[in-house]
Amino acid sequence: MQLKMLNKGKSKMRLELAGETHTFADILRNELAHDKRVKSVAYDKHHPQLGNPILILETEGEDPVATAKRASKNLAEQAREMRTEFEKALKKA
């Protein structure tokens, strides 16, 4: 994945998620939506096969990059936990 900052302000940013699909963009959007410091979050992708999703994030005054980094860290931890549980389940099967 390649990230391209399209514009960034004190509490807003637009970030292109090059090479990604609706699937990843929606997972990230959902994680950010659960953060109480997020004022609004959405992503835009005009066609499932064309273009890259663009994450649109507005916070309640916090640096949007810090907010996105925290969400990314949370998602990575969730993926590690899922992998651990998956591996445990496979050993029992």
Domain 2-92: CATH superfamily, name plus number = RNA polymerase, RBP11-like subunit (3.30.1360.10)
Q: What's the pLDDT at 50?
A: 77
Residue 48: its pLDDT value, please? 66
Instruction: List per-residue pLDDT tens for the chain, 93 residues long.
Output: 899 999 999 999 999 999 888 889 999 999 999 999 999 999 998 776 778 999 999 999 999 999 999 999 999 999 999 999 999 999 887
Q: Report whether 22 contacts 48 (CB < 8 A).
A: yes
**In the prediction, which pLDDT does 74 show?**
97
pTM of the full structure: 0.86
